[in-house]
Structure 1
Amino acid sequence: MSFEGLREIFPSKELPTVVSDCRSLLDKFKASGFRTLSVDDVCNDRGGIPEEVLLVPAVPAIHPNVELNGRLSGSAVLLVPLLAFAHDDRSIAYMHNRLGTLDFAAACANNRRAIENIQHTRDILSVDSEGCHLQIELGDNVDVFAPKLKPELSHGEWISIIQFFEIGLVPSDDYGSFNVTGTLACNGVSVAHHLHSHFESGPPAHKIWSMLAQRYSNGEFPLVLEVRDSTMTRILTRDGQDLLPEILPYTDDMMRGNLTEVGFGALAPSDQVDWSINSQLNEPAGGIHLALGAGEEAAHIDFVSPYARISGFN
């Protein structure tokens, strides 16, 4: 496993130093040829300050870590917030293996194309997925969450890995960013929460992931999402059971039931994706995803349709 795509985004074109608070994760990357440092090593200046960093917080702790952030302020840092999703050994191995094959350059090219389409389209976007049809009307002031458009990191720059792999539209203050109506097939989900609110938002996020993972294991996917005017109205299993009443209590009070993201994945659909694992790297796995929840007080749930076909994009 060469990690060639990962190397290419750093100024030296070499493997970054992996910094984490999880010993088993550090051992995993060290066995693949990475230099590794624990968070304590960096904070206590044992081993120097690395200039190029893959930062993977994976152990429950208070975030942000002000001391760590200060010491790495001049470094090129790629953040993989494993703690915000799942951080067991299986999830660590999955993240490690996916990182070894990701093509950052191709993803950034896809991001650029998506941005150009969003900027210039005047038509309603039509999305078809497994017998479902969704329409997305873009507003005059589309709010896009800071994507990376070039496969590079500079010293002093901190970037979350998801910024390389998706174009995420978020609601604007006047709710004029987008309007979504129709149905969408969902092949898998990822469930996140914010690191800075881990001890509050983590428990509900973990509970709803466990429920959805069990539904996936039982063969109840793909789900069918029903949306009207950017509000989720039903989430149906393969046998027609509506999961929305069970899901909504595990999302934030603010905007509960309303879409908090319309995302366009920059990765191609792949049989390497394992939907039984709660991974951030599954979220941008092709097609489109819709989200409920903000992840501040509870869960942020991405419902992913990797094979969705989007008309209206060039």
Structure 2
Amino acid sequence: MNIREFHQSLIQKQIPIIVDSLEVNLYLTEQGYKTKLFDLYNFESQEAAFLIFSDYRYYYKLKELWQTSKSRIVHLPAVKFDGRLETIDYSFKQIIAADIEQCLTIRSNLYEKIAEADSDLSLSDWRGSKLNCHLGERIEIANNDEELDPGWFYSIAEFLESSIVNTKGDKASFSVDGTFFFDGILYQTTTEDTKEENIKPLKYLAERVASSQEKYLQIEDNIIKHLILDGQDVTSVLLDMSYHLERNLSLTEIAFGCNKGILETINWEINSVLNEGVYGTHVGIGMAQKAPHIDFISQTLKLD
């Protein structure tokens, strides 16, 4: 099964949705979806299923199933962002409404452009963004597959962006310099402890970004040197978080969103993984393990 077939089956309510809370279960069954509780689902079955996380305990359980599951699973990792029902509702509606064929075509084209680039990607926009992205000899991408393999767990976000990541080192795949104007942010953590330790500055930053008009980053040698909101340098908010435990303020991702359908409906006040797929560009810091992963997202800067 490929992602196109999967998405169509999800829209037509032909595949089960695995849930980890009674609240989410009720939300979906009232709309006519077939649901199965996580604890009752047979991951040795070879069927396709969609999975929604709202509880960290079940996110941890899924990670333990990587070696044994035989199902084809695409998931919405809501709890890593915001596991509340209102955020899940927003995210799920965006998934159902997405033009997955268009998204995959754009994703494929963007990955081809990245592959064909000699060593540098230069991007600019009318707001004053000017980025130079130097690519390493061997770059690591998030995922460009369209077929869903048994035993793998795919985040829905993988199909809505073309992403280059620095997982092996600070500049293993890419290095960025320049000025980056952005529209909104989102943040995620893969552990509950990391979220609890950083949630106050994260929420403060999200509120400041949402209420600011002009917002941009100044990046030197792949490191965020300044975060400016309406003329005020608020880089200290980032430094107050636990980035010293990972990569400090070094960029760990540069990615290009492929979802044009969300351009008119995106809500920057909602911390949803679907927002990072908006057609444009985003850069991220943090590995989401010991420190939050924050994406700074622009709708105007594009890799054309």
TM-score range normalised by the length of the shorter chain:
0.7 to 0.9
* Counterpart residue number, 1:55: 51
Structure 2 counterpart of 1:298, one-letter code:
A
Counterpart check, 1:112 vs 2:108: yes
Check 1:15–1:250 CA distance in 2 against 1; reply closer, same or farther (3 A cut): farther
1:223 to 200, 211, 215: 215
Matched with 1:167 is 162
- Matched to 2:251, the amino acid is L
Return the letter of the residue paired with 1:31: E
Distance 1:65 1:282 in 2: 26
Q: Look up the SS of the partner of 2:277 in the other structure.
A: coil
Shift in Å at residue 123 of structure 1? 5.7
Identify the match of residue 241 of structure 1 among 232, 249, 264.
232
Q: 1:251 to 1:288 in 2, by over 3 A?
A: farther
Code of the residue aligned with 1:74 in structure 2: it is K
Q: State TM-score, norm by structure 1.
A: 0.85
2:273 aligns to what? Answer: 280
- Please name the residue that 2:251 is paired with: 259
Structure 1 residues 213 and 99, CA gap change in structure 2 (3 angstroms): same
Q: Deviations over 1:239-268 (max 9, x none)?
A: x11121111332432210111111111112
> Where do residues 130-209 of structure 1 align in structure 2 (5 Å cutoff)?
130-148=127-145, 150=146, 152-171=147-166, 172-173=168-169, 175-194=171-190, 198-209=191-202
| Structure 2 equivalent of residue 33 of structure 1 | 32
- CA pair 220-284 structure 1, distance change in 2 beyond 3 A: same
String of CA shifts for 1:153-191, please: whole Å, max 9, x gaps.
Answer: 344442111111112211244724212111011100110
Cα distance per residue 1:87-118 (max 9 Å; x no partner): 11210210121122012222121121111111
Instruction: For residues 129-159 of structure 1, give each alpha carbon's deviation from its aligned partner in whole angstroms, at most 9, with x where no partner exists.
Output: 31221111222111212233x2x43444421
Q: Of 275, 286, 294, which aligns to 1:301? A: 294
Whether the 8 Å contact between 1:288 and 1:305 is mirrored in structure 2 is yes
Q: 1:66 & 1:277 partners in 2: Cα distance? A: 25
Q: Give the 3 Å change call, closer, same or farther, for CA 41–189 of structure 1 in structure 2.
A: same
Give the drift of 1:49.
5.2
Percent identical residues = 22
Asked whether the equivalents of residues 9 and 153 of structure 1 are also in contact (C-alpha less than 8 Å), the reply is no
State the number of aligned residues: 298
More displaced 10-residue stretch of structure 1: 77-86 or 60-69:
60-69
Q: 1:124 aligns with which of 117, 120, 125?
A: 120
Q: Say what the alpha-carbon RMSD is for the aligned residues.
A: 2.8
- Residues in 2 aligned to 1:300 and 1:174: alpha-carbon distance in whole angstroms: 14
Q: Does the aligned pair in 1 maintain the 2:248–2:286 contact within 8 Å? A: yes
1:100 alignment partner, SS class: helix
Query: Which amino acid in 1 is paired with 2:16?
Result: T
Which of 208, 212, 231 aligns to 2:205? It is 212
Decide whether aligned partners of structure 1 residues 51 and 25 sit closer, same or farther in structure 2, where only a CA change above 3 A counts: same
- Could you list the runs of 5+ residues in structure 2 that have no partner in the other structure? none
Q: Tell me the CA shift for residue 39 of structure 1.
A: 1.4
Cα displacement (A) at 1:72? 7.7
**C-alpha displacement at 1:6, in angstroms?**
7.3
CA contact (8 A) 2:46 2:150 kept: no
Contact 2:281 2:299 in 1 (8 A): yes
* C-alpha contact (below 8 Å) 2:179/2:219 kept by paired residues: yes
Which one has the bigger helix percentage?
Answer: 2
Asked if the contact 2:186/2:276 (under 8 Å) is kept, the reply is yes
Kept after mapping to 1: 8 A contact 2:11/2:96: no
SS of the aligned residue for 2:217 comes to strand
8 A contact 1:287–1:309 mirrored in 2: yes
> Which amino acid in the other structure matches residue 256 of structure 1?
N
The DSSP-based 3-state class of the residue aligned with 1:183 is: strand
Instruction: Give the SS at the match of 1:263.
Output: strand
Structure 1 gaps of 5+ residues are none
Inter-partner Cα distance in structure 2 for 1:154 and 1:6:
13
**What TM-score comes out, normalization by structure 2 length?**
0.88
